[in-house]
Structure 1
Amino acid sequence: MYFLSRELYFPPVDEASPEGIVAIGGDLSAERLLLAYQSGIFPWFEDDEPILWWSPPERMVLFFDELKISKSMRNIMNRGIFSVSFDLAFQEVIANCRDIKRHGQNGTWITADMAEAYCRLHELGHAKSVEVWQGDELVGGLYGIDQGHVFCGESMFSKVPNASKIAFIALCKKLQLENYKLLDCQVHNDHLESLGAREIERDDFMAILKNSGGF
């Protein structure tokens, strides 16, 4: 296991532990976070843990031509119940992602330091958000890191049914129009699988990232 120092460095992802931990420690500076994402690595840890840096052996991704929109979801979209914006309320989105109660989870992995770090990345133009509204109320959304041709999704939330799906679908359609290669969903999630995301081998993900200018 590699322990990070002040040096801006990550070991190759093929040196990760069997579960996908590449390194431990370091900090959440903008420079280190950007290097991590460019290298196919992301932070994932809880308040009582050191910073853990991951690159799982199988990566959950969404190829845009595989996006699944159910008939009922299309009906909801066509009814105009929700409106969608981009980068209008980043801090509110990450705060909701942090605070929302999730089934089977006692807490959140979005620590105060992590929220602050991603807000800095947003100010620098690297972290982006999608907001879903009912009238003037923010009812859903997501945020992630924009690498130019690969978008790395971090977290999403819903205060009402289907709001996070609306955010996800809107982002996918936007990225597809802008010729992005894929949406990185990081780890398996039944909710994302229902929308068409699937796991690919780490080597395949790294090849796409490299060919998309991630290095």
Structure 2
Amino acid sequence: MILEVNKKEINFPHPNTANKDGIVAWGGDLNPYRLIKAYQLGIFPWYSHRDPILWWSPNPRLIMELDDFKLSKSLKKSIKKFTYKFNANFKEVMQNCASKQRKGQDGTWIQKDLIEAYEVLHSMGIAHSVETYKDGVLVGGLYGLTIGKVFCGESMFANESDASKSAYAVMVKHLKKWGYDFIDCQVPTDHLKSLGAKEVDREYFLEKLYRVNKESIRYSWTLDKTLLD
């Protein structure tokens, strides 16, 4: 039985109580402190328009060990075609991710209320965007949030070939320099697997997450252009 989240309390069932689809609980709200607590526990919201909020902890889980990232020769070349910014147009990145048509998906889980909630996390210095520009125009990027030494990736978009992959590569280089441990990619996709992400079981993920999610890292997310060479 999937439990309903109590709006009056910031808590969740243990991720191991998730059903076979990976749903831990439903309901509640997108209070920023509830969201932070969820990510600390390895849980994230994912739901469709007009549905109640669903809270997930899938098994298997997709993660990216930073040293496993595959920087191909073609991607290394593509990185030089663009310019990059961190956190300059966070809302626009989310809106682009929401509007992007994706194979096998009807609509988007990035609803207006979700955008507003993550904007609050962005104002708190927890949620971040990595943006790719060409001739001054935003052509790709990604967003997510940081919990301790983990970057929890949410979504990415590209309006130019390799624009999102390049943003991802730039982010990985900075996360390594800043001392982050890994990226939580959440749900397995062929796209991220091609970049070096791997599937792990929930127990392994949670043990790894709990070990590093309380080790706070504070960086201004300033672009280091020397990492783009």
Name the TM-score class by shorter chain. over 0.9
Aligned to 2:16: 14
TM-score w.r.t. length of structure 1: 0.96
SS in 2 for 1:157: strand
Aligned to 1:5: 6
Residue in structure 2 matching 1:46, options 48, 66, 71: 48
Q: Is the 8 A contact 1:39 1:214 kept in 2?
A: no
Distance in 1 between the 2:214 and 2:59 partners?
A: 18
Distance in 1 between the 2:58 and 2:213 partners?
A: 20
2:100 is aligned with 1:100:
yes
Aligned to 2:171: 171
The Cα offsets for residues 142-181 of structure 1, whole Å up to 9 and x where unpaired, read as 0001113000000000011100001111111111111111
Q: Percent identity?
A: 46
Q: Is the 8 A contact 1:13 1:55 kept in 2?
A: yes
How far is the alpha carbon of 1:58 from its aligned partner? 1.0
2:144 is aligned with 1:147:
no
Structure 2 counterparts to residues 80-159 of structure 1, below 5 A: 80-159=80-159
Distance in 1 between the 2:190 and 2:178 partners?
A: 27
SS in 1 for 2:204: helix
Q: Which runs of 5+ in 1 are unaligned?
A: none
Q: How many residues align?
A: 213
Distance in 1 between the 2:16 and 2:148 partners?
A: 24
Distance in 2 between the 1:207 and 1:214 partners?
A: 13
Distance in 2 between the 1:5 and 1:86 partners?
A: 35
Matched AA of 1:174: H
Aligned to 2:226: none
Q: Which runs of 5+ in 2 are unaligned?
A: 216-229
How far is the alpha carbon of 1:74 from its aligned partner? 1.7
Structure 2 counterparts to residues 47-86 of structure 1, below 5 A: 47-77=49-79, 80-86=80-86
Distance in 1 between the 2:187 and 2:4 partners?
A: 23
Distance in 1 between the 2:77 and 2:34 partners?
A: 43
Q: Is the 8 A contact 1:129 1:142 kept in 2?
A: yes
How far is the alpha carbon of 1:57 from its aligned partner? 1.4
How far is the alpha carbon of 1:22 from its aligned partner? 0.5
How far is the alpha carbon of 1:8 from its aligned partner? 1.1
The Cα offsets for residues 61-111 of structure 1, whole Å up to 9 and x where unpaired, read as 10011101122112222xx21011111110111111111222332311101
Distance in 1 between the 2:214 and 2:100 partners?
A: 31
Q: Is the 8 A contact 2:62 2:184 kept in 1?
A: yes
Pairwise CA RMSD: 1.2
TM-score w.r.t. length of structure 2: 0.90
2:220 is aligned with 1:210:
no
Distance in 1 between the 2:16 and 2:105 partners?
A: 30
